[in-house]
Amino acid sequence: MDNVLVVLKALSDETRLRILKLLERGELCVCDIVAALGTAQPKVSFHLNALKDAGLIRDRKEGRWIHYSLDGSDIFRRFIVLSVLERTSDDMSSEDMKRLKEFMQ
């Protein structure tokens, strides 16, 4: 039961949903996520840790950079994330995607 509560709590925040929408398109460096959200790095890291603690994302370190991606290893969590993302409007992340594309150019 605790696992379910942790997952649902992680999904109850708009910033975390925006991060998941960004990661839906593939792996991103924390600096990419910061640029896309237009938010301070400590705040983004806080939300990334909540998503990671819930088992919804995973990280990979490359040099001094940490890259994040959706974690599809657990079928329950994968189903929940895909269901939430399917029901989350792309309008929510359109500005984030615009900022991300500008940052990556």
- The string of pLDDT tens digits covering residues 43-69 is 999 999 999 999 999 999 999 999 999
pLDDT (average), residues 87-92: 82
Q: CA neighbours within 13 Å on the CB side: how many for 22?
A: 29
The one-character DSSP state at 6 is H
Beta-carbon-side half-sphere exposure of residue 6 (alpha carbons within 13 Å): 13
Question: Which residues lie below 8 Å from residue 2, measured CB to CB, with a gap of 6+?
Answer: none
CA–CA separation, 40 and 87 (whole Å):
27
Is residue 2 scored above 80 in pLDDT?
Answer: no
pLDDT score, position 18: 95
pLDDT band at 14; cut points 50, 70, 90 = very high
- Say what the pTM is: 0.91
Confidence (pLDDT) at 1: 57
